[in-house]
Amino acid sequence: MSSGDPTILHADLDSFYASVEQRDNHRLRGLPVIVGGGVVLAASYEAKAFGVRTAMSGAQARRLCPRAIVVPPRMSAYAEASRVVFQIFRDTTPLVEGISIDEAFLDVGGLRKVSGTPREIAERLRTDVRQQAGLPISVGVAGSKFLAKVASAVAKPDGLLVVPFGAEIAFLHPLPIERLWGVGAVTSGRLRKFGLTTVGDIARAGEAELATILGRASARHLNALAHARDPRRVQTGRRRRSIGAQRAIGRGQHARDDIDAALLTLVDRVARRMRAARRTGRTVVLRLRFGDYTRATRSHTVSLPTSETAVLLAVARSLLAEAQQLIDERGITLVGVAVGNLADEAGTQLTLPFGTVASPSPGQLDSAVDSIWDKFGKAALTRGALLGRDPGISVPLLPD
Active-site residue set: 103
Annotated binding-site residue? 24: no
292 is in an annotated binding site: no
CB of 178 closer than 8 Å to CB of 196: no
What residues are paired with 107 via a beta bridge?
8
User: Do the strands 33-35 and 42-43 form a parallel or antiparallel pair, or are they unpaired?
Assistant: antiparallel
Q: Which DSSP string do the residues of 280-315 spell out, in sequence order? A: EEEEEEEEEEETTS-EEEEEEEEEEEE--HHHHHHH
Q: Cα(214)–Cα(217) distance, rounded to whole angstroms? A: 8
What H or E segment, with its residue span, contains residue 372?
helix 362-376
Axis-axis angle for helices 185-193, 199-214 (nearest 10) = 100
Task: Single out the residue of 25, 22, 62, 57 nearest to residue 41, CA to CA.
Answer: 57
Q: What Cα–Cα distance (Å) separates residue 277 from each residue in 82, 202, 340?
A: 20, 41, 14
Strand spans (E) along 42-176: 42-43, 69-71, 96-100, 103-107, 137-142, 160-162
Long-range contacts: 91-94, Cβ < 8 Å, 24+? 91/128, 92/121, 92/124, 92/125, 92/128, 93/121, 94/236
d(CA 400, CA 396): 11
Binding residues: 12, 102
- Known binding residues for Mg(2+) are 12, 102
